[in-house]
Structure 1
Amino acid sequence: MDERFLRPQFNRLKIADKRTLMQTLADRYDLHFKDLYIFSRWGQSCTTGVFERANREYVFVPGDIVTLGWDHFASGMNEDNLAELEAVFEEYEYEGSLEDFIQELMTPVRQITIPPLLVSRKLEEIGWEPVMLDDPRLTAHPNWMKEFQEFAAADGESLNLVRCARFDRDGDRWQAYLYQEVDYCQFKQILQEQGLSLPTADEWAYLCGGGCRTLFPWGDSIDYGLHLHHFEMSDDQRPYDLEEANFFGLSIAYDPYRREVIDADVLTTCGGDGGCNICGGLGPVLGYLPCSPHCKPEVQEDQKLNGDYDFYRPVIRVD
């Protein structure tokens, strides 16, 4: 591997050398190199290239040799988090220690070599095809259209006819979608034909945490001052903090309802549990624990991808 593509050496390159290297990648992978950007968050920083192709932004993430996994707190949870978990443990009559409970959910500590990647900056939907409202595949279902018209008249924002159709308000117009079922192996084959793939579990953990030794990329506790999906105040118009770009420029692990599909032998996800903990009323700490970079990947029983909960992040592997 070219050592310039590894994070310690890459970070030491002069700006002009980085720009030349990024243009080389753009030419090799048929990308438009937009510019170098500085991404800094939670004590980590990277000045790297942002690219574009087919209305999708990629960022270059240098490789590294990192420690992944979790076996103890770096500093420990704050009092508010401990009080929240104590109440949950009391309700469910859990008598073990907090560290034992969390360690059971985390991957073991190990040292891994992560290759350099070009990574899509945002999660993308699976199975939803945008269509016009007069698409004959929609109008062939008058019951769908009737339900949509009633919903639109009531000033609704988004109507999801599960695994059939969806209607999202976009300002003064509506965008319709049709759902197309696809299984995991078919989906990986489609990506491969486009020269794309999915990150592995270890790669995803690195993209999310960058090798952090804390439970979350920012520390061992959930900050109740963060604006979090599903725990926001009704009048809070701030951006969702965890959806903002991380130290690699990625919007990742920001919504526990969004399971991120990774590369494995069978359908496996990271970055969320489909909202199970939140729906179960377990609060923000356990609600967001599946978004930890160290949390065990979840092997799904069904190989059919679920367009309401499963999302993907395409990557280009740098040779």
Structure 2
Amino acid sequence: MSHADLTVDAWLALSADAAERTAAAIARDVDAELLSVAACSYAGRAGRVALFERDGFRFALVPGGTVHVGHDPDRFVPTRRQLDDFAEAVDLYSVPAPIHRFLAEALSPPRRAERPARLVAVRSVDADTLLTAEHDGTDDHDSVMARLAWRGLRPPTPDEWEHDCGAGATTLFRWGDEYPDGEPYGDVPLIQQPNFFGLVIGDDPYRAEFTTDPSVLCGGDGGSALCGGSGAFLSWVTLATAYRDATLAEVVYDGSLVGETPLRPVLPLP
């Protein structure tokens, strides 16, 4: 079996010794260094994380298979605080109400996808850090893809990004449906802590990330809601796993912001 066929259930079902051997074989296949294989926990779920390093990037193993992505807003049961925060946003910013209609428009729909296992960078990097002698100076989505491809890498697809972030969680956020006190920025344990796959992802609404789809950035809104003082609900929902900002890509390209926009390198498995 190809390591690209490794599913989440199969990876978690391995014994500790078998997981170590599997991770070591993956490292040999992609010419990477295996750093560790260790038990992990996130938001009440117990799992296992394998970390690798290659060409200055630290990667974590993200198993694949049939994955559930997107979000069904009808499953969301808002708390009293969330309803109050949302009502304030409706009054001040004329967002569509009720709350479930807003979420249906702001989040990608629930769906299933078949995705391969792969190594995913633990942290995103700004596109400008990938500059090489082969870079022709253009700043568009194609040039960013070319910079990654030259290194044998690519960004995640939108489906993959959501799987990387949520790891199968059906809640609004990867940790649950509620958000903590304060703003989604800075030293907040829920968003700073590595997730179920060992990734620091969706941790800053200013750092929405490129995907293979030039029209879809994931992981934030560029900071618009937070910087604009739009209130707790609108600021936090930008870090929902399935959040999509329909206008962000246009802002990035038209504003010459490609170089400072993050992306998350993916190393495919043979």
TM-score by length of 1: 0.74
Give, in whole Å, the separation in 2 of the partners of 1:128 and 1:315. 15
Structure with bigger strand share is 1
Give, in whole Å, the separation in 1 of the partners of 2:174 and 2:218. 15
Give, in whole Å, the separation in 2 of the partners of 1:103 and 1:284. 18
1:183 has 2:135 as partner: no
Deviation at 1:300, TM superposition (A): 1.6
* Structure 2 counterpart of 1:247, one-letter code: F
Q: What are structure 1's unaligned runs of at least 5 residues?
A: 131-179, 231-237
Give, in whole Å, the separation in 2 of the partners of 1:75 and 1:284. 17
Deviation at 1:83, TM superposition (A): 1.0
Give, in whole Å, the separation in 1 of the partners of 2:98 and 2:65. 33
Query: Residue in 2 aligned with 1:84?
Result: 85
Deviation at 1:74, TM superposition (A): 3.5
Query: Residue in 2 aligned with 1:11?
Result: 12
Deviation at 1:248, TM superposition (A): 0.4
Which segment drifts farther, 204-213 or 121-130? 121-130
Distance 1:75 1:106, change over 3 A: closer
* Structure 2 counterpart of 1:259, one-letter code: A
Specify which of 237, 247, 263 is matched with residue 212 of structure 2.
Answer: 263
Which segment drifts farther, 102-111 or 202-211? 102-111
Give, in whole Å, the separation in 2 of the partners of 1:94 and 1:48. 39
Distance 1:92 1:120, change over 3 A: closer
Query: Residue in 1 aligned with 2:185?
Result: 229
Q: What are structure 2's unaligned runs of at least 5 residues?
A: 132-136
Give, in whole Å, the separation in 2 of the partners of 1:95 and 1:117. 38
1:201 and 1:297 in contact (8 A); partners too: no
Q: How does 1:183-222 map to 2 (within 5 A)?
A: 183-222=140-179
How many corresponding residue pairs? 260
2:155 and 2:211 in contact (8 A); partners too: yes
* Structure 2 counterpart of 1:191, one-letter code: L
Give, in whole Å, the separation in 2 of the partners of 1:189 and 1:73. 40
Give, in whole Å, the separation in 1 of the partners of 2:96 and 2:215. 33
1:127 and 1:181 in contact (8 A); partners too: no
1:311 has 2:251 as partner: no
Distance 1:91 1:48, change over 3 A: closer
Q: How well do the aligned residues superpose, as a CA RMSD in angstroms?
A: 2.4
1:273 and 1:290 in contact (8 A); partners too: yes
Deviation at 1:268, TM superposition (A): 2.9
Deviation at 1:217, TM superposition (A): 1.2
TM-score by length of 2: 0.87
